Amino acid sequence: MRFLSIDLLRAVAIVLMVIVHFVENLSALFTLDPSVSQPAAIAWLPSGFAAPIFTFLTGVSYRLWVQHREDRGDTTLAITKASVRRGLLLIGLGFVFNVIVWMPEDTFNWDILTFIGSALILLSIFRHAPPVILPLVCGIVLALTPALQSISDYPSYWQQGFFDYDLTLFDVVLGFLCVGYFPIFPWIVLPMAGFAVAPLVFSDTPNRRSAREIPAIVGGILLAVSAGVLLACSGTPPRSAWQSISGWSMFPPSTAYLCGTLGLVLILLDRCHAILDTTSQEKTPLGIVCATLSRHSLSIYLLHHFIHIWPLWAYGLLSGEKASHFWQQALPASVSLCLAALFVFLCLPLFFWMDRTGRRGVEGWMRWLCD
């Protein structure tokens, strides 16, 4: 069963991701004045919101998928095997994606695909744990992350504005744990929170649903308030490890950022479920568009990188420069934004046609291989 609330939030996340990637990769350093060396002022860009929504919904969807498999009588072993196969496939796909899009030197940058694959494997381990364990693990991860970032000297891996590592076992493992783009510490908090909160929001019994939603909405409000308090205190102490807790930062992911985005997505999921999933909205134009974007979100993620990164590399090589010469400085931000909107607009008829003719996207092949 599809839920419009999940489809809507995932569609919003993938559209935000497309916009951010197009503008950042094509325009972040673009300027008409060659003497200006600072990044272009694109403060309006909705950076930092797509990934928390997407990774949180990974946990929600996985919990609902497990429940569906259990309801149809699948054994625990069969569900675990399918979960691990999905996780390993996404990890392998993430490595291949890094090589063919970002080139071999970025194979181990630990981007979102390898993280989601790892998260599915970890969730398959924790799915039988008592309900109190997941919130406890999330709290421990949040508490340990600032210390791990400080001990590992996180800024030294990000001196050029992106994750820059040596191809050594130490740096590769450290990137996976706490200094890569989406390391386990602290990003695992989001899918674990989604997995834990799914049964509270998506209760089968209407009379029980209202009572069970209370912890989710209260938890979301408390997390949002906590983030606000941390941000209000962020300028008080000198810049130190405290900045990893109180400041609003995605790289490195600060405690305030994680609490704020997690609280926001909890509130949004709860309210969207209460408003949208109680009516027959799935056949409306909004429902059809959101379901299509959500159903093909992995395909869109992969495709939009090929569409805007490969021409960038090709143009650099054809111009006699190195492939990455025009990265972040190829186009004005307004042009990149229009290209992002055009990409999303053109994706819809493509995936409508695929659904109507029964052609598989990446998601369909993953289900065929893993389930």
Count of helix runs (H) and strand runs (E) in the chain: 15, 0
Q: Which of 68, 118, 75 is nearest to 367 (CA)?
A: 68
Ranges under pLDDT 70 in the chain: 31-43, 204-215, 234-244, 246, 280-282
Assigned token pair, 57? 């919904």
Looking at residue 38, what is its pLDDT? 47
Q: Hey, CA dihedral for 314, 318, 324, 327, is it positive or negative?
A: negative
Cα dihedral: 26, 32, 35, 36 (round 10): -60
Looking at residue 246, what is its pLDDT? 66
| Residue in this structure with the two tokens 């839920």, named with its chain if needed | 3
The total number of structural domains in the chain stands at: 1
Distance (Å, whole) CA 100 – CA 86 = 21
Structural domain boundaries enclosing 97: 4-31+40-370
CB atoms within 10 A of CB 254: 26
Amino acid at 24: E
Distance (Å, whole) CA 107 – CA 96 = 8
Phi and psi of 29, rounded to 5°? -110, 10
Q: Which of 250, 265, 343, 338 is nearest to 305 (CA)?
A: 343
Q: Which residues contact 318 (CB under 8 A, 6 or more apart)?
A: none
CA–CA distance from 26 to each of 130, 205, 325 (Å)?
46, 48, 11
In DSSP notation, 107-119 reads TTS--HHHHHHHH
Q: Is the pTM of this model over 0.85?
A: yes
- The CB-based long-range contact list for 198-201 (8 Å cut-off, 24+ gap) reads 198/59, 198/60, 198/63, 198/64, 199/63, 199/67, 201/60, 201/269, 201/270, 201/273
Number of residues assigned to the chain: 371
Angle at 162 between CA 159 and CA 165, to 5 degrees: 75
Contact 223, 258 (CB under 8 A): no
Q: pLDDT tens across 221-231, in order?
A: 888 888 888 77
Secondary structure E strands in the chain: none
Q: Is 3 left (phi over 0), alpha (psi -120 to 50) or beta?
A: beta
Distance (Å, whole) CA 370 – CA 269 = 28
